[in-house]
Amino acid sequence: MSAFDPKRTWTRKYASSVGTALVPDGYSGSMLSFMLIFGFLETFLSNRGEEATMAATHKGECFCGAIHVEVSGEPEAMGYCHCQSCRSWSAGPVNAFTLWKPEAVRVTAGAEHLATFQKTETSQRQYCKKCGGHLMTNHPPLGLVDVYAATLPTLKFSPGVHVNYAETVLPMRDGLPKLKDFPKEFGGSGEIVPE
């Protein structure tokens, strides 16, 4: 038996809680299955993450796997961006970012499939031409690359700040600083707003 046994983890975590108590009124058994699978994946990924964060290199790939990305060392910052552009690009209510120095980020396979969309001078958003999967955004004025947290499954995401919180559509009460826009060092006001 390996150190991580999915069957044992599943049983230990869910054996006493499987049942109708997990399914809100009006939801089918498929919702229960989804909740159980999501919980299992969360446990699996968090177990992998604890081991993997000891390594100085993290690897990820686009949705179809054609493009492989690798980051080395530690990110300069991690957090959440609530701006309309990031929400629209990520098709979600918030974008989880990890910022790296450009020399710490490498495309190790599939560079011919990498495309860039540039709406503004500050962001060069990169994605896979084959599957459309979003990978990272280069921010030349900042000298940093945002490799989306979801792209790096072995990196333990430890957010430290919320930026562009004045634009939020998903208030998050997590005790982290909430900046109205960007830090002063990045051309913003540096103003902290309440949760």
Contact 42, 107 (CB under 8 A): no
pLDDT number for residue 190: 95
Give the rounded percent of residues in the chain with a pLDDT score beyond 70: 72
In a domain, 194, yes or no: no
38 in the same domain as 14:
yes
* Position 148, amino acid: Y
Q: Which domain holds residue 48?
A: 6-52
Q: Which of 3-7, 43-47, 77-81 has the lowest mean pLDDT?
A: 3-7
154 in the same domain as 175:
yes
In a domain, 102, yes or no: yes
107 in the same domain as 11:
no
67 in the same domain as 39:
no
74 in the same domain as 40:
no
63 in the same domain as 41:
no
In this predicted model, what pLDDT tens digit does every residue of 3-38 receive, in sequence order?
Answer: 322 222 222 222 223 332 232 333 333 333 333 333
CATH number where 141 lies: 2.170.150.70
Handedness of CA 50, 53, 57, 63 (dihedral sign): positive
In a domain, 192, yes or no: no
79 in the same domain as 28:
no
Asked if residue 159 has pLDDT above 50, the reply is yes
**How much is the pTM?**
0.70
pLDDT number for residue 42: 39
